[in-house]
Each structure stands twice: as C-alpha cells, then as structure tokens.
C-alpha cells in the first residue's frame, strides 16, 4: 500500500522558494532543502521529482504570489505615474530585503539560463505579463492625458520592464533603497 504524503506541498514549495531565493539554485543542495523543509529525501523526490522540479515549482509559486500581487497593485493605482512608481519602489524594497536577495525570476535568468534554457519560458512569461499590464495602464494614461504620447505604450512598457530588471540586479550589488529609489524617478521621466 502506498504511503500518503505527510507534508503540505504548498507550504514546502513556499519555504523552498525562500531558500532558493536567498541562496540561489546552485548553492542550495538537496540536503539543504530536506533540512529546511523538514522532509525526507524520498518525500522530496516523490512530490517534485528532483531538485529541479522543486525549483520550477518555487518559480511558479513566485509568479502566482509575488509577481501576481505586483500586477494587482498596478491595477489598483489611482493614476499611471503613481501606480508605476509604487510598483517599482515596492519591487526595490522586496529585492533589497534580507541582504539584497534580488528578484527570484531575475536571479533565475542570470543563474540558470546558461544551464537550463527552459527557464527562459518561465521568466519570459512573468515579464510578458508585467509588460502587458504596464502597456494597458500606459495606453489608458495617454488617452486620459496623464502622460505624453511621445512613445508607443508597448515600447515604454518594455523599457520599464528592462529598467526594473536592471534595478533588481543592482539591488543585489547595492542593497540600499536610498540609492536605488531615486533611479525610479529618472525612469518615470520617460513617461513625459
């Protein structure tokens, strides 16, 4: 008779996400994961296949929680400039937390793409969702006259996503919001 799983897989994925986010994929061993999650190696393999399967589940959890919350916060903003400012500064605050852990998705792109090109799709999906949400906000803001129509909203949104990626990498080097947050104002100047 097969044993039933004796742990909450969703909680395990969330805890694994935090460990991968803090240490990176390569520096996180299966032993680190089993100790951090309080499960046996056999349970980890039965639930997730292997370390890579758990990493992918952690990336998906990140997308469904933090990345999704960032998109919701964009939609709740009063005006485009304020909503975008809030999104960028909040992402900086999260990224500089815990000594500059950055962004799990950007970290995955930097660390795993050379070894696992399939990670590209996961990260690209997150970035595409952010770009598409920003495009809609910018398009509506142009129609309301909140921002200048100097650039196509899609191109401006792509610029903001690219800027944010660079900002998130910088947060690992300089985990200081006082240094990084003023850069947000420079990016907002692109809105006209």
CB-CB neighbours of 102 under 10 Å: 23
pLDDT band at 1 (very low <50, low <70, confident <90, very high): very low
Check pLDDT > 70 for residue 138.
yes
Is residue 129 a contact partner of residue 157, using CB atoms and an 8 Å limit? no
Check pLDDT > 50 for residue 107.
yes
Distance between alpha carbon 145 and the CA centroid of its chain, in Å?
Answer: 30
Q: Indicate the domain borders of the chain.
A: 59-191
In this prediction, residue 117 carries a pLDDT of: 84
Is residue 6 a contact partner of residue 43, using CB atoms and an 8 Å limit? yes
- Give the Cα separation of 185 and 37 in Å (integer): 40
- Model's pTM, two decimal places? 0.88
- Give the Cα separation of 82 and 180 in Å (integer): 17
Digit-coded pLDDT (tens) for 32-67: 999 999 999 999 999 999 999 999 999 999 999 988
Backbone angles phi, psi at 72, to 5 degrees: -60, -40
In this prediction, residue 178 carries a pLDDT of: 95
Check pLDDT > 50 for residue 123.
yes
Per-residue pLDDT averaged across 11-39, rounded? 96
- Superfamily of structural domain 59-191: Tetracycline Repressor, domain 2 (1.10.357.10)
């Amino acid at each position: 008779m097969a044993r039933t799983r004796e742990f909450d897989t969703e909680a395990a994925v969330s805890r694994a996400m935090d460990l991968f986010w803090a240490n990176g994929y390569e520096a996180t061993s299966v032993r680190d994961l089993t100790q951090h999650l309080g499960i046996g190696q056999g349970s980890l393999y039965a639930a997730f296949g292997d370390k890579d399967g758990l990493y992918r589940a952690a990336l998906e959890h990140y997308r469904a929680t933090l990345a999704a919350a960032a998109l919701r916060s964009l939609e709740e903003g009063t005006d485009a400039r304020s909503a975008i400012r809030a999104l960028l500064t909040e992402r900086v605050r999260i990224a500089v937390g815990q000594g500059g852990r950055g962004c799990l998705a950007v970290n995955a792109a930097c660390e795993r793409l050379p070894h696992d090109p399939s990670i590209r799709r996961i990260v690209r999906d997150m970035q595409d969702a952010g770009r598409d949400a920003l495009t809609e906000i910018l398009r509506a803001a142009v129609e309301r006259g909140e921002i200048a129509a100097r650039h196509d909203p899609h191109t401006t949104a792509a610029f903001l996503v690219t800027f944010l990626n660079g900002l998130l990498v910088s947060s690992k080097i300089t985990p200081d919001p006082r240094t990084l947050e003023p850069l947000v104002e420079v990016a907002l100047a692109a809105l006209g």
